[in-house]
Amino acid sequence: MKHFTHIADVGRRGAYELIERAQYLKRDGLGERFSDRLLAMLFFNPSLRTRASFEAAMVRGGGNALVFDVGKGLWPLETVDGTVMNGDKSEHIREAAPVLGRYADALAVRSFAKLEDHDVDHADKLMRSFREFAGVPVVNMESAREHPCQGLADLLTLRETFGDLRGLPVTLTWAPHIKPLPRAVPNSFLLTAVALGCKVSVAYPPGFALHEGVLAEARKLSFAGGGHFRVTHDQQAALEGAAAVYAKSWGPKSEADVTAFPDWSITPEHLRTASGDAFFMHCLPVRRNLVAADAVLNSEPKKFLDQAENRMHVQAAVLDWLWNG
């Protein structure tokens, strides 16, 4: 059974083909590709773009979606095997997932990292449990480890702008925030970008490293796809020559203070350090004048809006691949 929960589910070639399919669907429309299809969506965490873009893709393709907020109108779910369920969680994933799988043609799940143990988040057990028990294809709407639909949307945006992605220099830089955030977005951008041949400079302060397992996977993908990446604590050096600058906050609770590096907030000067005409990328939502200055977010081109729109197109491509081959 096909799933789309990690970039490894499709590999370098599959990621490229999904982006090509998304370009085709964006140009020619969905028609009735999802006629009589039903997508069940489970949100353990809040969403704006993810929920709206998946629902829009289903409706535009002639299908429908069921949306559940776990713990709000849906029983709180237990996910740990062997637990004595004498607390506030009324239903186990081993029953909930296969029941929903009997109602719907696919499940889409969104559940953030807990940020308590880096290795536990990297293992992505909840997403893997849904794959095991659902009985239908499972799509990752952001998990503890990856946000693969966002990664595809990011690379579709770059391809629309530059065409050939091979050797394209881009920078992925950490940015300040008011609280620690998951690593799923930077993980997926790095993995997808190197798989498609980009030259990625990853910059973050000491103490905010990505998981070695993700870096090892990125090395394999870069070798297969002709991409390249380097990791540095020098943001200025990472910016030099970049065609695009992707800012994202991340870092577990146990690591350094996420407010301790205000100079990492993106300003017009950072973009000028890159390539003069480099543009800013972000997955949204973005905290203005913390992650990036108003002058950056208000300037043209607003590629982060293209990224948001492209979520709908790549997700339509993923669902089309899962259901229609």
Q: DSSP readout, 217-276?
A: HHHHHHHHHT-EEEEES-HHHHHTT-SEEEEE----TTSS-TTS-GGGSB-HHHHHHHTS
193: helix, strand or coil: helix
Fold type of domain 150-307: Rossmann fold (3.40.50)
pLDDT per residue rounded down to tens, the chain (325 residues): 999 999 999 999 999 999 999 999 999 999 999 999 999 999 999 999 999 999 999 999 999 999 999 888 778 889 899 999 999 999 999 999 999 999 999 999 999 999 999 999 999 999 999 999 999 999 999 999 999 999 999 999 999 999 999 999 999 999 999 999 999 999 999 999 999 999 999 999 998 999 999 999 999 999 988 999 999 999 999 999 999 999 999 987 665 677 789 999 999 999 999 987 899 999 999 999 999 999 999 999 999 999 999 999 999 999 999 999 8
CATH 3.60.15.10 corresponds to the domain 7-146+311-324: no
Give 107-175 as a 3 state SS string: EEEECCCCCCCHHHHHHCHHHHHHHHHCCCCEEECCCCCCCHHHHHHHHHHHHHHHCCCCCCEEEEEEC
Q: How far apart are CA 83 and CA 189, in angstroms?
A: 35
State the DSSP code for 8.
Answer: G
Q: What is the pTM of this model?
A: 0.96
Q: Pinpoint the residues of the chain covered by CATH 3.40.50.1370.
A: 7-146+311-324, 150-307
